[in-house]
Structures are given as structure tokens and as C-alpha cells.
Structure 1
Amino acid sequence: MDITSDIHSQHISRQFNQELDELKTHLMAMGGLVEKQVQDAVGALLDRDSELGQRVVDNDRAVNDMQIKIDEECTQVLARRQPTASDLRLVLAVIRAASDLERIGDEASKIARNAIDLIESDSGNRGFVEVRMISEHVRRMVRDALTSFARLDTELALKLVHEDDEVDNEYGSAMRSLMTFMMEDARSISPVLSVMWILRALERIGDHANNLAEYVVYLVKGLDIRHTDPEDLDKDMFERNP
């Protein structure tokens, strides 16, 4: 996946251009791995595939290594090139995005570990419907967040910022349903708690996808909307030049 570079100036130094392009490429590669980690973690639970779950746990080290590499590359660019304006925003956005991707990887690993516990305990599939529904939503958010970053698409980014509230509502509804079930059947407490941890991890993945979308706005428009209520965001500002 290539990131468009229309908002970035072309530099006299071809090497500098190459360094910026490599930052984008490596971030997208990390995003692809993290997206698959989430997919496989949920798949391990729904398909009762403990071996797949273990692969997700084992692959978390690869995600961490990619973040370290990207951070090192960004540090070198900052030290050698001292970028300004949109180039500086790009480097900072890549650093922040890599951090959120690493945390998504952590959440995928948590899902996989809980999935393995549920599979080994053979405790039924209570809450799996909710997991499937919310996981499909947050996986789509991660995919769209990466697409918006790759295309510098602020309209798609704005859509994701609004969509995060939908995930929060779905998560709250699922948790209330599972709490009711636990009160009705004390024997279900342990496995349902594991499902709740999985749902919590999925909700956090949605939060990190939302963060990625916010970085797109920062990168393209120079606007920090991290603490802005989505309802207060003016679509017109995304149509104005940075």
C-alpha cells in the first residue's frame, strides 16, 4: 500500500525523499501485520483453533520489532534532516501511528490468550455472537484507518472519528447482556469474564483505529483533534487548505 505524497514537497535531496517514502512503506507493512493479528486472534476463538491463537501470541514480538525499527528511522530523519512543516508532521504522525499499531497488536495478543483459555476449558460459546459483531466492526475500522492514512483521506478519517462512538455503544450493550447472564448462572462467571476481556480488547482496538484517523487529520491539515468532540467537528475545515 503506497501513501500519496501530494502534500509533501519534493526535496533537492533524493535521499531525503526516499527516507520519507520508506517511513510510509514500513508503517503500512506494520499495519498489514497488525490487521492480520486481529483477524487471526478472533478467528482462533470463533473457529476454536488454539494453534492459530498461539501463533498470534508468538507474532507479537514481530510487531514490537517493527515499531522499534520505525521509531529508529524516524529519530534518524529528525536528527539528520531537521524536517519542517508537512514533513515534520509526517514524521510525528508516523511515530504516533506506529505506537497505536503496536498497542493494537498487544490487544490482539490478549484476545488470542483468552481464546486459548476458552478453547482449552471447552466452556461453550456464550458471548461469541457479540464478539463476532464487534470484531467485524473494529477490523473494518482498522482497515479504513490504514486506508485513510495511505490515501491521506480526511473524509474517511472523519467518518471513523464518528464511528468510534458506535463501537462504544455496541460494547456497552454486549457487556450488559453478559453481566445479566452471569447473574443468572454463577457457573458461567469464569468463561464469560474471559469473553468480556476479549470484548474490552476489541473496544480498545476501535479506540486506536480512531487515533490513527485523528493523525491523518493532523498530517494533512495540521489540526490536532484528539480532544475534540466529534459532534463539534466542522466538515468544512477538512475542505480548506492546511
Structure 2
Amino acid sequence: MIRVMIVDDQEMIRVGLRAILAPEPDIDVVADAADGFEALQQIVGLSVDVVLMDIRMPGIDGVEATRRLRLDFPPEELRIIILTTFENDENVFAALRAGANGFLSKGIGPTELVAGIVDVASGGGALSAAATAALIHHVAEEHRPAVDAAMVDRFSVLTPRERDVVIAIATGRDNAQIASDMFVSPYTVKTHANRAMMKLGARDRAQLVTFAYRAGLSA
């Protein structure tokens, strides 16, 4: 069972997310909060696997709440997904730097939301194609020198198939699309991605995309 906390200052969003997740047999919404301060208070004493975190909230916003949660909960204990209306919002990238494991648009459908939660809970990272493109653009703006020699060396430990999967992820392809392209199952793609993250020391797919760009594997 994946235990979820919803953090959003709009009650309609919280109610809507609960309604979407309620029918899922493997997901249990154990708490919801209207801002970061309330989330930090509620999570004490609760057992939470995934936090769905809004960015723009009064008081303690999503970036600061993520940073504070990471002081007490490492990524292997608590996964954080940023929910945002604008995937290229500078605050989203600040949240990723603070320790979020991925971000999804509030405009995605129920199927994509559930898949994102399941993927992040199992150690992956939620990134839509648009989010991946925005992340690459942001990294490009921050890291003008395209190739990091040390990062290129780190990628040498990957198998050819793991490398291909990383490149595909960095171009915005999801597991199902990559599986179709490579004539393998989505589970196999996920296995290759997880092995690549482990070998490279990437905490999630968002960081994997950043590493790929620094190694010159993504334009």
C-alpha cells in the first residue's frame, strides 16, 4: 500500500485528488494539508510514502516545505512529487534542487497521476515529456559548457542498453514509448533505468536527465 499525503492550498484540488485516488486499491491518502507548515506538523507521527506537493502556497511554500522535509526524511524514506500548473516555473527547479523526486502538471489525467505515484514510490521519478523538455532547457541555461568530462567517464559504466534508455528518457520518452521503440516490456525499461540511476548515483529520473545533459547525451 502506498500512503500518500496531499499538500495544496486549494481545497477543491485536495478534494479532487482524493476522489481520483480513492478507487485505487494500492493507494491510501492518509492526510492532506493546506500549506507547508500544516504538512510539516501533520507528517510527524504519520507513515507517509509519497507527498504530492503544490508549489505556490501561502506561508511555507512547496520549495521550503520540500527542503525541510528532506532534513528529516531522506529520499529512500519519503518521495516527493511536485504538482504544478506551470512546468517551467523556476520554483519547480528550486524544488528539485531541494530534494523533490519529480514533477507533474496539474493538467494530467488520473491514469498518468496514478502511474506517476506508483513509479515514484518504487524508486523512479515522475517526469512528463513536457517536464523533461523544460528541465533540459533549464539545465542548458545553467550549464553552458555542454560536456562535463567527469560525467562522461561516469556514463562509461553503463551497458549499451542502459545508455540507450537514459538517452531516450532525456529526450522526453516515457517507459511505454521507450518499450515500444526497443521492442521490450515497460518493466524491462524501468529495470534498465533503475540500474542506470544506481550506477550513476542519480536519486531519480529528474537528476538522471540532468546527468545525461552534462554528459552531452541530450541536445
* Higher-strand-fraction structure: 2
* Higher-helix-fraction structure: 1
Q: Which has the larger radius of gyration?
A: 1
> Normalization by structure 1: what TM-score?
0.25
> Normalization by structure 2: what TM-score?
0.27
